[in-house]
């Protein structure tokens, strides 16, 4: 076999391996063009992966001079790497859906075109092009995402049309909920408050984009449904407005504005504008006015004709609904209590929305005691070793992270453990927070500094925020442990904690993050 032929075969094998890795990243990142290349840079810029990347660059560069054999080694380097990003995935395996198969086909076609263009020149150029394509898999996947996006949108139109018709047929009161965080918790609280009075259907889990919302309507909205609760998320302006065009809300709720998805939307003002699209067709706006962005939005919305604003607060008793230290007030009047550990503004927004869909005050008051935390959001259990577990793995914002540390601090702490001398352990396990743009490093350092003051141990998971977390944790007295995966963190916790100890699992990142 010639050197060009061997290089071509190795490059194709490396390309197939890269496809498994980077198509999975594209799927996990909701098929957003550009996201695969962004993650590729994160992985290739870490530790020994840099050496593999440089080997590919050097190999392709030498192959381009007419010597294909270096291209073989360059392709092999990117075929075995990046180290840490597995072919199958530990937490999020590749799912060969119809959409992924379409994406894979377009990506493969782009790669074939690249090789065929080289082959038109010579086998050596074809081998070099194949080696080049092996390293450019993330870029070509992003190109395929851009090509397929309008096609996928058109393919989704029948399902959106069907959902629109279903809504027109059933005619429920629609409550739409958005916010940088707190959407899912508020949705759960609201559904619970309504259930005793009306037939209610909330969107499941986080079905909060165009396709997920249409699916929720088509699969779950049945005749007799009186209230439909639609969670709506967004990565940019226009997405919520489009959902509201065919699923128009009667009551619109915005829970909070914060730096979540800041790397995509760049400022909290832009985030506010994107979230505010949910108000455009609503007759009632329910807003957490403790948030300064939403307080200003409430003032602007109040001036609009035909829109009634319900202000919700965890500190202001004069708000329409206030939840302060677990006590729930409507127009200043106490009506009942909830667990003070629940996020107060989320509860307040749920109470206000329940009132607006016609649930009587006394019915709301009767159901307040039954409000429970959403799964993986400050839920507290006891582990097999007798230690307390605070599960906040679905939280990924600075405000929630601070609330989680407060929950850790509030846990009863015995003076000493049964084993004796070292006292009770308070452990924070975290990979840090992501998608905070330019604020990410500072936010993680600040969180780790506070964690190091509140906890006896800080366990840093993965590489994504390791530098910032270590920098912050160094300012406090806590011992610091570093691990590569959450599984390793869990093993450390089980080996080191016992009765009287507490561990806080703060956020969790799927394994396509470094």
Tell me the mean pLDDT in the region 34-50. Answer: 95
Q: Where are the alpha helices (DSSP H) in 196-238?
A: 210-220
Same domain, 308 and 418: no
Tell me whether residue 248 is in a domain. yes
**Residue where a domain stops, chosen among 349, 370, 391:** 370
Q: Report if residue 165 sits inside a domain.
A: no
Asked if residue 56 is part of any domain, the answer here is: yes
Distance, in Å, from the CA atom of 228 to the CA atom of 211, rounded to the nearest integer, reads 17
Task: Report helix, strand or coil for 320.
Answer: coil
Question: The sheet that has 457-461: what strands, in order across it?
Answer: 379-382, 388-392, 502-506, 426-430, 457-461, 479-483
Q: Where are the alpha helices (DSSP H) in 303-439?
A: 344-356, 361-367, 398-410
pLDDT at 422: 53
For range 196-203, the mean pLDDT:
95
Total of domains in the chain:
3
Asked whether residue 470 falls in the same domain as residue 444, the answer is yes
What is the structure's pLDDT at 417?
46
Which residues face 340 on adjacent strands? none
Asked if 393 and 289 sit in the same domain, the reply is no
- Asked if 357 and 395 sit in the same domain, the reply is no
Average pLDDT on 44-69 reads 94
Q: What is the strand order of the sheet 308-313 is part of? A: 200-202, 227-231, 173-178, 251-254, 284-288, 308-313, 321-324, 327-330, 333-337
pLDDT at 33: 94
Tell me: pLDDT of 467 over 60: yes
Evaluate if residue 419 carries a pLDDT over 70.
no
In a domain, 54, yes or no: yes
Same domain (yes/no): 390, 341: no
In a domain, 217, yes or no: yes
Residues 126 and 205 in one domain: no
CB-based contact 423:416 (threshold 8 Å): yes
Alpha-carbon distance of 427 to 458, in angstroms, equals 6
pLDDT for residue 88 is more than 90: no
Please give the model's pTM, rounded to 2 decimal places. 0.88
Average pLDDT of the segment spanning 210-231: 96
Q: Which of 313, 339, 370 is the last residue of a domain?
A: 370
The domain boundary, picked from 336, 370, 404, lies at 370
Q: Angle at which helices 137-170 and 210-220 pack, to 10 degrees?
A: 40
Least confident of 99-113, 216-230, 403-417, 497-511: 403-417
Token code pair at residue 268: 């909290």
Per-residue pLDDT averaged across 361-377, rounded? 91
Per-residue pLDDT, 421: 41
Least confident of 65-69, 354-358, 376-380, 391-395: 376-380
Task: Please give the residue range of the domain that contains residue 331.
Answer: 171-370
Q: With respect to residue 202, please indicate whether it lies within any of the assigned structural domains.
A: yes
Tell me the average pLDDT across 25-53: 95
Residue 163 included in any domain: no
Residues comprising the chain, all counted: 514
Q: What is the mean pLDDT of residues 15-34?
A: 95
């Amino acid at each position: 076999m010639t050197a060009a032929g061997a290089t071509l075969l190795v490059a194709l094998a490396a390309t197939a391996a890269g496809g498994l890795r980077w198509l999975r990243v594209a799927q996990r990142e909701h098929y957003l063009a550009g996201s695969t290349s962004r993650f590729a840079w994160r992985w290739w810029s870490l530790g020994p992966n840099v050496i593999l990347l440089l080997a590919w660059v050097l190999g392709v560069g030498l192959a381009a001079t007419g010597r294909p054999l270096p291209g073989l080694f360059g392709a092999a380097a990117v075929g075995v790497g990046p180290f840490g990003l597995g072919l199958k995935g530990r937490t999020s395996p590749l799912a060969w859906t119809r959409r992924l198969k379409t994406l894979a086909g377009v990506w493969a076609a782009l790669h074939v075109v690249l090789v065929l263009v080289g082959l038109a020149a010579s086998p050596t150029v074809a081998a070099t092009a194949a080696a080049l394509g092996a390293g450019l898999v993330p870029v070509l996947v992003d190109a395929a995402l851009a090509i397929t996006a309008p096609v996928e949108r058109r393919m989704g139109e029948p399902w959106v049309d069907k959902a629109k018709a279903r809504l027109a047929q059933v005619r429920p009161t629609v409550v739409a909920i958005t916010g940088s965080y707190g959407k899912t918790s508020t949705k759960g609280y609201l559904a619970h408050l309504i259930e005793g009075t009306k037939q209610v259907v909330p969107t499941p889990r986080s079905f909060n984009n165009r396709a997920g919302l249409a699916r929720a309507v088509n699969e779950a909205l049945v005749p007799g449904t009186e209230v439909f609760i639609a969670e709506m998320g967004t990565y940019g302006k226009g997405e919520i407005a489009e959902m509201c065009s065919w699923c128009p809300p009667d009551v619109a709720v915005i829970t909070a504005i914060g730096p979540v998805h800041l790397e995509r939307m760049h400022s909290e003002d832009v985030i506010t504008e994107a979230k505010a699209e949910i108000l455009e067709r609503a007759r009632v706006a329910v807003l957490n006015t403790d948030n300064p962005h939403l307080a200003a939005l409430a003032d602007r919305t109040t001036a609009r004709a035909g829109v009634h604003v319900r202000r919700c607060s965890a500190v202001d008793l004069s708000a329409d609904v206030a939840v302060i230290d677990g006590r729930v007030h409507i127009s200043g009047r106490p009506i009942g209590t909830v667990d003070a550990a629940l996020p107060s503004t989320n509860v307040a927004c749920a109470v206000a929305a329940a009132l607006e869909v016609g649930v009587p005050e006394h019915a709301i008051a009767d159901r307040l005691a039954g409000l429970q935390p959403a799964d993986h959001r400050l839920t507290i259990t006891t582990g097999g070793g007798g230690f307390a577990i605070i599960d906040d793995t679905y939280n990924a914002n600075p405000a929630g992270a601070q609330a989680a540390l407060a929950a850790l601090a509030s846990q009863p702490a015995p003076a000493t453990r049964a084993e004796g001398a070292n006292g009770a352990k308070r452990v924070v396990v975290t990979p840090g927070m992501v998608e905070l743009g330019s604020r990410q490093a500072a936010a993680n350092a600040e969180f780790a500094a506070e964690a190091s003051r509140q906890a006896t141990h800080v366990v840093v998971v993965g590489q994504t925020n390791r530098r910032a977390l270590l920098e912050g944790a160094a300012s406090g007295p806590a011992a610091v442990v570093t691990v590569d995966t959450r599984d390793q963190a869990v093993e450390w916790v089980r080996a080191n904690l016992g009765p009287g100890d507490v561990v806080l699992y703060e956020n969790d990142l799927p394994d396509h993050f470094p």
